Amino acid sequence: MSIHSDEVLAQRASRSDGAALIELAFRHWPGLHRLARHLSVDADASAIAEEAFGRALGGCRLADVPFRISLYRQAIALASTHGRSLPAGEAHRLDRACLLLRDVEDFSAEEAAFILRTSPAIIRKRAHRARLMLAGSFALFAGTQAPFCLAVA
């Protein structure tokens, strides 16, 4: 594994360094694809992740924003404008995105808020709501009672 930062690798990859691009892909493709898959139709997740990589490496990065944050922000923007997003409620989609960014991809509330263009308080609230929904789903699957604070539909 490389000891170079994402920023160094991104600079090298943007200058056609294949090894740097592969290292960035190993680091970020699984999480980026997972997020795109949860925000869009499965067939489009790879295209969204690939285009987000291209944009983040091709100069669409914001100045002074870490590569990883810029990459995920590009993916969110692409998923929301891709045209084949999930028809289910926008609120559930955002809840899932908050949960994924916070609990799976390990972004801080502030980083996730920047990626999703909202406030850290909203991120914490939506991630909590998604955790409750997940707990309710597990309870239904196990045949036990859902947490008292959750109304399972």
Of 58, 87, 116, at which residue does a domain stop? 87
What letter would DSSP give residue 61?
P
Place of tokens 């590569």: 67
Confidence of residue 82 (pLDDT cuts 50, 70, 90): low
The pLDDT of 125-151, averaged and rounded, is 74
* Structural domain total, the chain: 2
Query: Residue 133: its pLDDT value, please?
Result: 84
> Who contacts 85 (Cβ-Cβ below 8 Å, separation ≥6)?
39, 40, 41, 79, 93
The domain in which residue 68 lies consists of: 1-87
pTM beyond 0.85, yes or no:
no
pLDDT tens readout for residues 3-55: 889 989 998 998 889 999 999 999 999 999 988 888 875 558 888 999 999 88
Residues 5 and 75 in one domain: yes
